[in-house]
Amino acid sequence: MSTQPQTLGRRGFAFGISALAGLVAALPPMPSQAAGSTPSPNESKQQHPEVTVWVVIEPDDTTIIRVARSEMGQGSMTALPMLVAEELECDWALVRAEYVLASDNLARGRPWGDMVTAASLAIRASHAYLRKAGAQARTMLIDEAAARWGVGADACVAKNSVVTHIPTGRTLRYGALAQAASARAIPPNVPLKRPQDWQVIGRPLARLDTVEKVTARPIYASDVRLPGMLHAAVAACPARGGRIGHFDAQQVLAMPGVRQVVAVDNNAVAVVAASWWQAKKALDALSIVWDESSADGSAGLELSTEPLARMFRAGLDASDVAIGRRRGDIDAALATAATLVQADYEAPYLAHATMEPQTCTAHVTAQGAQVWAPTQNGEGTLLVVAQTLGIDPSRVVVHKHHLGGGFGRRGLAQDWARQAVLIAREVDAPVKMIWSREEDVRHDLYRPFCVARHTAGFDRAGRLIGWKTRLCGSSISDALARDRLKNGEDHEMMSGFLEEDMVYDVPNIEVGYVMRNTAVPVCFWRGVNHTQNGYFREAFVDEMARARGQDPYLFRRDLLAHSPRSLAVLDEVARRANWGRQHAGVHQGIAIVESYESVCAHVIDLSIDAAGQPTVHRVVCAIDSGYVVNPAIVTAQMQGAVAFGLGAALDGEITLHKGRVQQSNFHDYPVLRMNQMPPVETYLVPSADRYSAKWGGIGEPGVPPIAPALANAVFAATGRPVRSLPLSRHPLAPT
Amino acid sequence: MTELTVNGTRHRFDGDPLTPLLWYLRDELALSGTRFGCGAGLCGCCTVHIDGAAARACSVAVGDIDGKVVTTIEGLGGTVLHPLQKAWIQLDVPQCGYCQSGQIMQAAALLAGNPAPTDPDIDDAMSGNICRCGTYPRIRAAIKAVASGSHAGLAPPPGGQLAATAKPVP
Ligand code: FES
Ligand code: FES
C-alpha cells in the first residue's frame, strides 16, 4: 500500500485564534444538527423555548443552563451555571447544565460567544455576559407575570423560580411563564446585583456533574457507541519528523475483526477493526518500516536531549533577544553592583498525560462529518475537521463530551481530531480512534524545555538594585498560535517576568527571551509558561535571599512592599504555615506566582530521610482569585494543581533520543500517586475588586508556585539550590 | 469458549481468549464505565472485581477467567448506590471523573477486606490508582467516611471558607 501525500504540514492542524475568527466570520448559516446524529449525553437538545440563549425552562420548572465552555474537571459545568443562576433567581435544585453545540453557535452568529476553554478563562472571560443573561431572563419572566396580572413589574419579585406579586401575594412559577416570556424582547440593559447581595456566587455548591461520574454513565468521548461503529488503533512514526517507509496491509487484513489499514498523512498507520483490541493487536503485528532519515531538525540538529539542551543553553548568550521588559538601566546597575548573584536554571519537556488518552470518534459521509470529541474548544475542533476534510464548516457537527482531563492538550492542539477524521474518511462507518498510552506519551506536544540565566546585583547596603533574566526555549505560540506573536516575538514565553505578572519592586530590570524552535512539538501545559518561569524566578529569589543572609519570606515581603495584593497572599500563606516555626528536620519552602489574574502562594513542609528520600508533609496554599464563584471548586482545583505540579517537579521528564521520545507509560513517566499526596490546606483570600475589577482564573494558578516551593524547601534542607528539574535527578544527601 | 458472570449475568465468549477483559467489557458488553488509562496495569482506571478481588481488567485475559464472577462499576451497588458511591457524591470527589470508576472499585475491595483502614492501609491499597486531577484528598476522606459509617450524615461537600473565617480544608 502506498502512502498518501501529505496535505498539510505539522503546523497545518493548529488554528491560531485569528484564523479561527476569520473563518467564523465567513460562515454561512447551517442546520443545527445533522440528521440521524447521536448527541452526547450532556448536549443541549433545545426542547423548549429559550429565555435568552442561555436558559431553557421546562413546564415543570426544570432549568437548563447552557455551557459553551468545556468541562475537564475544573468545574465549568457547575460554576458557569451558578453565574447565570445568581441573577436568574431560579431554584438551584432545578438546574441542569448542558453543552452548546459548536455548530449551533456558528450557525446562529455566535450568540454563546467564545467556546475556548484554556488559560483559566472560563469564568474570567464570561462572568459578565452570563450574569447579564440571567438578569435578562429574570426580567422577561417577571415582565410576563406582571403583564398577566396587569400590574407593574416593580411590584413583583422573583425568587426560587417563582414570581410573586408583593401586594397580593399571587405567584406564578417560572415553568408556567417561560413559554410566553421567551417571546418577549430581551431587555438590553439590566442592572446586576451588587456582590454583597449574591446568594449563589460564593457558595460551595455541589457539582452538577458528580452523579454521572460515579455511576459509570457513558459521558466521555471514549464511551461513544454508534450503530456499525468500528475501532481504530494508531501508530505514528516513533521518531519526530519521520515518516512511513513501507508496510504491507495484507500482513494483517486476515486477522480476526480487522477491516482496513489506513495510512494517515504520511507519518502514521491506523488499523480499523471490530473492536479496539483487535485493531491494536493487528497494529502490533504489522511490520511498519519507518523512514527516520528526516527525523533530524531542519538545521541538522540531532533531536536528542543533550544536543537540544546545549543548543538552548547557547541561546542564553545569543543576541537575537526579544526584550519583554526593561526598567531602568540594567547594565549600569550590574556594573556598579557591590555583589552579583548569578545562576542558570533548566526545566525539562513535560507531557500532559491526560487520564483519558487521546481519542475521537468520527463519521465522515458524502454529506459531511460528525465527530464526538473531548475538546477544550468545540469550534476549534469543528474548523479543524472542516479544514482537514476540505469541506464547508456548515457540514460538520461536533458533539462535545466531558474530557478525561485536558491540561492544555485538547485546545489549540487538534492533532487527534485531524487523525480521527482522516481515518474515518477512508472507512464506510463511524470509527472510534483511541491512542494507546504509549502513543499518547510519545506523541504528545510537550511543555517546552527551557533554560534561564539570572544575574542580580546588590548595592553596598545589600539592596537589590538590578535583576536581569535571559530565557531560551521553543515558542508555543510559534507552534500553535502564530497570531499571538508580536513582530515575530513571543512575549508569553516570558510570563512570570513581565510587567503584569512580576510585581517585585526592583529599580533595574531586564527580561529577554531567545526563541529556538525545533521539530519537538511544544504546547500549552496547565499553567503554561508561568510553570517553568515561576520555578526559575522563585527558586532564584531564594538564592538571592540566602546570598543576602535573609529569610526567604521576609526577603519577598520587602520586594512586595508596594504590591498589597501579592503581599496579602504571601502573608496569609506564611501565617497559616507557621513559617519559620517547624520541628527539627522539617524544612519549609515558599513561593508565590501571579498568573491568570490570580495570585497564589504555597508553602511546602519537607523532610529528607537518611537515604536521601524527600517527603512532602504538607502544602499550605493561599489564593486570591479576585472573586470566588464556588469555594469548594477552588479548593479542589488547588489540591489538583498541587498534585499535578508536584508530581512533575518530583519526577516528570520527557527525554528524546534521535527524535524518539524515550518515555511511554506511567512506569517511566511517573505522576503523583496517593501515597505521595500531601495534605493540602487551602485558604481563600479573595480581594474582590479591591485591586482590580478582574475575575481571576482557578484551573491553572495553583500549579506555578508548587515546583519552586519544593525546590526552595530542598534548598533549605540541603543548602544546595535546585537548579534543574525534576528533583529525582538530584541525589539528596541526608541533612 | 469461555464462560463468565458479569454483574450477575452469564456470558459466553468465543473470541480470542487473549482479549483483555477491559476490551471485552467495553466493546462487547457495552459496559463502558470500566475505563482505559494505560493498558499495562499501571494506572488502575480499569479496576474491576474478579471473584471479589480487585483486578486490572486491562491485564487479565478473558480466557484466563473461565467460570469466574466479574463485577464492574455498573454492578457494584446492584440496583442502588454503593455506600462508596454515596460518599463520593456527598464529598464531590470527582474532577474530570475519568479515573473514578477504578478508584471506587479499588476502594470497595479495600473496605471489603478491611472495614477500618488506616491512612497507610489506604495508601497501600490506593496508590496503584492514578488520578491526574489530584482528587486523592477527597478519595481518602470518602473512604474514611464510609469506614466510620458517617457518610450518610455528611454535610455538603467541603469547601474552602472565605477570608475572615478561613479554615483548612482536609
Ligand atoms: S488501564 Fe488497566 S491499569 Fe491502566
Ligand atoms: S478525576 Fe480526573 S483523573 Fe481522577
- Give the CATH number of the domain where residue A393 resides: 3.30.365.10
* Same domain membership, residue A480 and residue A343: yes
Among A416, A442, A468, residue at a domain's last position:
A442
- Is the CB–ligand 2 distance for residue A405 below 6 Å? yes
Question: Cα separation of B30 and A323, whole Å?
Answer: 56
Rounded distance from Cα A389 to ligand 2 centre (Å):
33
Burial of A402 (0-12, 13-18, 19+ CB in 10 A): buried
- Of the candidates A596, A621, A622, A603, the one whose C-alpha atom is nearest the C-alpha of residue A699 is A596
Question: Contact, A106 vs A398, CB < 8 A?
Answer: no
Question: Contact, A650 vs A534, CB < 8 A?
Answer: no
A280 to A231, A271, A277, A360, A439: CA distances (angstroms): 9, 7, 5, 16, 12
Rounded distance from Cα A283 to ligand 1 centre (Å):
19
pTM confidence score:
0.93
Band (pLDDT 50/70/90 cuts) for residue A48 is confident
* Same domain membership, residue A482 and residue A411: no
Nearest ligand 2 atom, CA B99: 4
**Least confident stretch, A396-400, A510-514, B127-131:** A396-400
- Of the candidates B78, B13, B27, the one whose C-alpha atom is nearest the C-alpha of residue A218 is B27
Return the best residue to mutate from B24, B46, B99, B127 for the ligand 1 pocket (most ligand atoms within 8 A of CB): B46
Band (pLDDT 50/70/90 cuts) for residue A53 is confident
* Same domain membership, residue A638 and residue A559: yes
pLDDT of residue A126: 83
Return the best residue to mutate from B19, B24, B50, B59 for the ligand 1 pocket (most ligand atoms within 8 A of CB): B59
Buried b (16+ CB within 10 A) or exposed e, A536-558: bbbbbbbbbbbbbebebbebbbe
For the segment B3-58, what is each residue's pLDDT rounded down to a tens digit?
A: 999 999 999 999 999 999 999 999 999 999 999 999 999 999 999 999 999 999 99
Band (pLDDT 50/70/90 cuts) for residue A339 is very high
* Same domain membership, residue A406 and residue A276: yes
- Of the candidates A398, A358, A384, A350, the one whose C-alpha atom is nearest the C-alpha of residue A480 is A384
Interface contact A407-B132, CB threshold 8 A = yes
Question: Cα separation of A230 and B156, whole Å?
Answer: 43
pLDDT of residue B152: 55
Interface contact A277-B96, CB threshold 8 A = no
Band (pLDDT 50/70/90 cuts) for residue B151 is low
- Is the CB–ligand 2 distance for residue B135 below 6 Å? yes
Interface contact B96-A72, CB threshold 8 A = yes
Dihedral sign, Cα of residue A589, residue A594, residue A596, residue A597: positive
Percent of chain A with pLDDT over 90: 82
Average of pLDDT values for A337-346?
98
Burial of B61 (0-12, 13-18, 19+ CB in 10 A): middle
Question: Which three cell numbers mark A292?
Answer: 527516520
* Same domain membership, residue A289 and residue A324: no
- Of the candidates A628, A566, A559, A564, the one whose C-alpha atom is nearest the C-alpha of residue A592 is A566
Which of B37, B94, B95 is opposite residue A437, by nearest beta carbon?
A: B37
Percent of chain B with pLDDT over 90: 85
Question: Contact, A398 vs A381, CB < 8 A?
Answer: yes
Cβ-based contacts of B140 with chain A (< 8 Å): 674
> Does the residue A305 lie in any domain?
no
Dihedral sign, Cα of residue A291, residue A297, residue A301, residue A307: negative
> Does the residue A20 lie in any domain?
no
User: A386 CB contacts (<8 Å, ≥6 apart)?
Assistant: A369, A392, A393, A395, A396
Q: Taking CA A397 as the corner, what is the angle to CA A396 and CA A400, rounded to the nearest 5 degrees? A: 140
Domain boundaries, chain B: 2-71, 83-153
Q: Helices (DSSP H) in A472-519: which residue ranges?
A: 476-480
Rounded distance from Cα A348 to ligand 2 centre (Å):
24
Question: Contact, B28 vs A275, CB < 8 A?
Answer: yes
pLDDT of residue A297: 54
Q: What is the DSSP string of chain B?
A: -EEEEETTEEEEE-S-TTSBHHHIIIIIS--TTS--S-SSSSS-TTEEEETTEEEEGGGSBGGGGTT-EEE-GGGTTTTS--HHHHHHHHTT--SS-TTHHHHHHHHHHHHHH-SS--HHHHHHHHTTS--TT--HHHHHHHHHHHHTT-GGG--SPP-PPPGGG-----
Task: Report the gap between the CA of A699 and the closest CA in chain B (Å).
Answer: 11
Q: What is the mean pLDDT of chain A?
A: 91
> Does the residue A521 lie in any domain?
yes
For B2-71, which CATH class? Answer: alpha beta
Band (pLDDT 50/70/90 cuts) for residue A569 is very high
Maximum separation of any 2 CA atoms in chain A, in Å: 84
Question: Contact, B134 vs A682, CB < 8 A?
Answer: no
Cβ-based contacts of A677 with chain B (< 8 Å): 134, 136-137
Cβ-based contacts of A634 with chain B (< 8 Å): 160
Question: Cα separation of A156 and B39, whole Å?
Answer: 60
Return the best residue to mutate from B21, B45, B49, B99 for the ligand 1 pocket (most ligand atoms within 8 A of CB): B45
Task: Report the gap between the CA of B149 and the closest CA in chain A (Å).
Answer: 19
pLDDT of residue A12: 31
Which residue(s) pair with A67 in the sheet?
A: A99
Question: Which three cell numbers mark B33?
Answer: 464505565
> Does the residue A127 lie in any domain?
yes
pLDDT of residue A11: 30
Question: Cα separation of A158 and A171, whole Å?
Answer: 9
Percent of chain A with pLDDT over 70: 94
Question: Which three cell numbers mark A428?
Answer: 464506510
Q: Residue A198 above 80 pLDDT?
A: yes
* Same domain membership, residue A339 and residue A262: no
User: A479 CB contacts (<8 Å, ≥6 apart)?
Assistant: A11, A14, A445, A517, A521, A522, A523
Domain limits at A707?
316-350+446-729
Band (pLDDT 50/70/90 cuts) for residue A27 is very low
Task: Report the gap between the CA of B121 and the closest CA in chain A (Å).
Answer: 10
B92 to A366, A436, A632, B137: CA distances (angstroms): 44, 29, 9, 11
Q: Residue A19 above 90 pLDDT?
A: no
* Same domain membership, residue A504 and residue A540: yes
**Least confident stretch, A6-10, A57-61, A583-587, A708-712:** A6-10
- Is the CB–ligand 1 distance for residue B45 below 6 Å? yes
Dihedral sign, Cα of residue A509, residue A308, residue A535, residue B131: positive
Band (pLDDT 50/70/90 cuts) for residue A43 is confident
The residue whose CA has the least distance to atom 4 of ligand 2 is B131
Rounded distance from Cα A492 to ligand 2 centre (Å):
29
Average of pLDDT values for A316-344?
98
Domain count, chain A: 3
- Is the CB–ligand 2 distance for residue B132 below 6 Å? yes
> Does the residue A310 lie in any domain?
no
A129 to A54, A136, A197: CA distances (angstroms): 10, 10, 18
B10: left (phi over 0), alpha (psi -120 to 50) or beta: beta
Say which ligand is closest to the CA of A356.
2
Average of pLDDT values for A227-250?
96
- Is the CB–ligand 2 distance for residue B5 below 6 Å? no
A493 to A324, A513, A524, A613: CA distances (angstroms): 9, 7, 11, 33
> Does the residue A145 lie in any domain?
yes
* Same domain membership, residue A388 and residue A511: no
* Same domain membership, residue A251 and residue A164: no
Rounded distance from Cα B136 to ligand 2 centre (Å):
9
pLDDT of residue A734: 59
Interface contact B137-A679, CB threshold 8 A = yes
Which of A225, A231, A642 is opposite residue B134, by nearest beta carbon?
A: A642
Nearest ligand 1 atom, CA B59: 2
Q: Taking CA A609 as the corner, what is the angle to CA A608 and CA A612, rounded to the nearest 5 degrees? A: 75
Using only C-alpha atoms, chain B has a radius of gyration, in whole angstroms, of: 17
For the segment A581-593, what is each residue's pLDDT rounded down to a tens digit?
A: 988 899 999 999 9
Nearest ligand 1 atom, CA B41: 3
Dihedral sign, Cα of residue A87, residue A92, residue A95, residue A98: positive
Task: Report the gap between the CA of B62 and the closest CA in chain A (Å).
Answer: 12
Among A417, A442, A467, residue at a domain's last position:
A442
Buried b (16+ CB within 10 A) or exposed e, A293-320: ebbbbeeebbbebeebbebbeebbeeee
**Least confident stretch, A612-621, A684-693, B121-130:** A684-693
> Does the residue A12 lie in any domain?
no
Q: Residue A617 above 60 pLDDT?
A: yes
For B83-153, which CATH class? Answer: mainly alpha
pLDDT of residue B99: 98
* Same domain membership, residue A158 and residue A86: yes
For the segment B97-117, what is each residue's pLDDT rounded down to a tens digit?
A: 999 999 999 999 999 999 999
**HSE (CB half, 13 Å, CA atoms) of A709?**
34
Question: Contact, A572 vs A685, CB < 8 A?
Answer: yes
Torsion of CA B99, B101, B106, B111, to 10 degrees: 130
Say which ligand is closest to the CA of A355.
2
Band (pLDDT 50/70/90 cuts) for residue A46 is low
Question: Contact, A55 vs A75, CB < 8 A?
Answer: no
Q: Residue A33 above 60 pLDDT?
A: no
Interface contact A671-B132, CB threshold 8 A = yes
pLDDT of residue A5: 33
B97: left (phi over 0), alpha (psi -120 to 50) or beta: left
For the segment A690-726, what is each residue's pLDDT rounded down to a tens digit?
A: 988 788 899 999 999 999 999 999 999 999 999 999 9
Cβ-based contacts of B108 with chain A (< 8 Å): none
Q: What is the DSSP string of A197-219?
A: G-SSTTS-PPPTTHHHHHTT---
Among A442, A457, A474, residue at a domain's last position:
A442
* Same domain membership, residue A525 and residue A422: no
For the segment A460-483, what is each residue's pLDDT rounded down to a tens digit?
A: 999 999 999 999 999 999 999 999
Question: Cα separation of B112 and B52, whole Å?
Answer: 9
Q: What is the 3-state secondary structure (H, E, C) of A18-60?
A: HHHHHHHHCCCCCCCCCCCCCCCCCECCCCCCECCCCEEECCC
Which residue(s) pair with A591 in the sheet?
A: A602
A124 to A204, A627, B53: CA distances (angstroms): 18, 10, 46
Interface contact A403-B96, CB threshold 8 A = yes
Maximum separation of any 2 CA atoms in chain B, in Å: 66
Task: Report the gap between the CA of B67 and the closest CA in chain A (Å).
Answer: 22
* Same domain membership, residue A385 and residue A527: no
Task: Report the gap between the CA of A330 and the closest CA in chain B (Å).
Answer: 39
